[in-house]
Amino acid sequence: MKPCNIFQLQRLSVNDGEGIRTTVFFKGCALRCQWCANPESWSFDPQVMFFPHKCTGCGNCLTACRHDANVRNSKGEINFVSANCVDCGACRGVCPADARQEMGEGMTIAEVIAQLKKDYIFYQESGGGVTFSGGEPFLHPEYLRQLNEACHRIGINTAVESCAYFDFEACRDIVESIDQIFFDIKIMDSARHKQYTGVDNSRILANIEAASKINNNIIIRVPVITGVNDSTENMLALSKFLLEKTTITRVELLPYHELGLEKMTALGLPAVVFETPSEAKMEELKQLLREQGIEIISFR
């Protein structure tokens, strides 16, 4: 099995499922959510990120880069022209300030398992395990299948965080055997979904409906963003879909946060600022869903 590009392995995580977990972040996603907290996951390939606040302006990268991906602006600051970057890595080798960081490296299944084994005792004592995240883990079906099986062989509980946009038939057996699934549903209106994420939601809803028939441990996550999906209409459409089309009754609402903004800039992508909903608004939406028969859960 070829290595898969992983951009982070986060140990001792308590927000990504039951107990203490290690979260494995896969590279590659089909969606382009404007509020994404992990835009470094979008590309399947390793990428250089540039963090301007660390840059001392020494200019080493200007000399090292043969692809005009770095320019000094009229204020003397370095700007990253990511469209020109071919990820050769030359700038990283000469940067004295760690302002250039490589996101993503190929890891074999044996290498991931070796990392997971370090925290085996925490999983056992807390009821935790590993959570596959990203990016979209189901876009790497053979690797995910073998990694999930390897975890199960040594008694590690598995969970996956997914945007639900993948080839369902290619992943049916993984959906069935993984211990817990968190599926995102961003927006119920398909046209608005496409406007904000780049794809319509028909495949996502169909996959969630199909998955609920073969895995009974699924939780829906909704990143709540003011003016995008925090309407009564959207929440009622969500509960109607879940109750009429699926066997899923548990939802976690997560307020939008700005953690992805710096990463967007570091990747040379346009950063769009959204508004975080108030605590009162979050409570109102939770209550609305509870009244429809939805159980609200939280891992935060």
Question: Smallest gap, in angstroms, from Cβ of residue 98 to ligand SF4?
Answer: 8
Contact partners, residue 285, CB within 8 Å, separation at least 6: 224, 230, 235, 253, 277
Q: Which of 69, 181 has the CB closer to ligand SF4? A: 69
**DSSP codes joined into one string, 104-155:** -EEE-HHHHHHHHHTTHHHHHHHT-EEEEESS-GGGSHHHHHHHHHHHHHTT
Q: Which of 140, 263 has the CB closer to ligand SF4? A: 263
The reply on whether position 87 binds ligand SF4 by CB under 6 A is yes
Among 99, 174, 222, 248, binds ligand SF4 (CB under 6 A): 99
Stretch that binds ligand SF4, among 62-70, 170-178, 244-252, 268-276 (CB under 6 A): 62-70
What dihedral angle (degrees, nearest 10) is formed by the CA atoms of 259, 263, 268, 269?
Answer: -40
Question: Smallest gap, in angstroms, from Cβ of residue 60 to ligand SF4?
Answer: 4
The reply on whether position 88 binds ligand SF4 by CB under 6 A is yes
Q: Which helix (H) or strand (E) holds 80?
A: strand 78-80
* Cis amide prior to 227 (ω within 30 degrees): no
Stretch that binds ligand SF4, among 11-19, 95-103, 153-161, 210-218 (CB under 6 A): 95-103
Number of residues lying near ligand SF4 (CB under 6 A): 26
The reply on whether position 41 binds ligand SF4 by CB under 6 A is no
The reply on whether position 69 binds ligand SF4 by CB under 6 A is yes
Q: Which of 6, 90 has the CB closer to ligand SF4? A: 90
Question: Smallest gap, in angstroms, from Cβ of residue 58 to ligand SF4?
Answer: 4
The reply on whether position 48 binds ligand SF4 by CB under 6 A is yes
Residue recorded with tokens 């099986």: 149
CA distance 161 to 13: 13
The reply on whether position 266 binds ligand SF4 by CB under 6 A is no
Among 3, 59, 198, 255, binds ligand SF4 (CB under 6 A): 59
Q: Which of 50, 183 has the CB closer to ligand SF4? A: 50
Question: Smallest gap, in angstroms, from Cβ of residue 30 to ligand SF4?
Answer: 24
Q: Do residues 41 and 7 touch, judged by C-beta distance below 8 A?
A: yes
Among 46, 57, 141, 255, binds ligand SF4 (CB under 6 A): 57
Among 9, 64, 261, 282, binds ligand SF4 (CB under 6 A): 64
Among 33, 36, 85, 251, binds ligand SF4 (CB under 6 A): 85
The reply on whether position 34 binds ligand SF4 by CB under 6 A is no
- Check residue 26 and report its DSSP letter: E
CA atoms within 13 A on the CB side of 146: 13
CA distance 217 to 181: 6
The reply on whether position 117 binds ligand SF4 by CB under 6 A is no
Q: Are strands 21-26 and 157-162 parallel, antiparallel or unpaired?
A: unpaired
What dihedral angle (degrees, nearest 10) is formed by the CA atoms of 171, 172, 177, 182?
Answer: 70
Backbone dihedral region for residue 135 (phi beyond 0: left; psi -120 to 50: alpha; all else: beta): left
Residue recorded with tokens 């979260």: 23
Among 56, 202, 232, 278, binds ligand SF4 (CB under 6 A): 56
What does the binding site for ligand SF4 look like in residue numbers (CB under 6 A)? Answer: 48, 55-61, 64-65, 67, 69-70, 78, 85-91, 94-95, 97, 99-100
